[in-house]
Amino acid sequence: MNTEYSATLVSLDTLRVGQRAVLVRVTSAGPVRRRMVDMGLLPGVELTVERLAPLGDPMEVRVKGYHLALRKSEARTITVAPAATSVDEVVANDYPGLDRAARGLLRRWTSLLAASRSRFEAE
């Protein structure tokens, strides 16, 4: 999977359901940090926010194929680089009334733009 990640760093607790990110650092200390490391929360690992409890705490995160529940206070100590937002996410969130044909055109335009950008960077 070729996913682009944002240069902006945020804490894990700020991500929405469905967002992907790469773990940058864990700032907690002591037994909590040891527990997180034991569960695979290491720099460079990709994770996805799967769901939030009704009141927002805890949150469920998928890491290396398994699901992990974290308190918001624990998630706040994890710094991540969020994945770049896909066109489909933008359309669904910002333009819910856009029909299928318009979404297809937007996707095609975005892929053409990405292809021309990669050709330009290669030169």
Taking only the tens place, the pLDDT of each residue in 95-110 is: 555 566 766 776 777 6
Residue 2 in any domain: the answer is no
Q: 58 with 98, same domain?
A: no
Q: Assess whether 17 and 76 both reside in one domain.
A: yes
Query: What distance in Å separates the CA atoms of residue 114 and residue 40, rounded to the nearest whole number?
Result: 33
Same domain membership, residue 91 and residue 36: no
pTM of the model: 0.60
Tens digits of residue pLDDT in 14-28: 888 888 888 888 888
Burial tier of 62 (Cβ tally within 10 Å: 0-12, 13-18, 19+): middle
Task: Kindly indicate the confidence band of residue 1, based on its pLDDT and cuts at 50, 70 and 90.
Answer: very low
| Residues 72 and 94 placed together within one structural domain of the fold | no
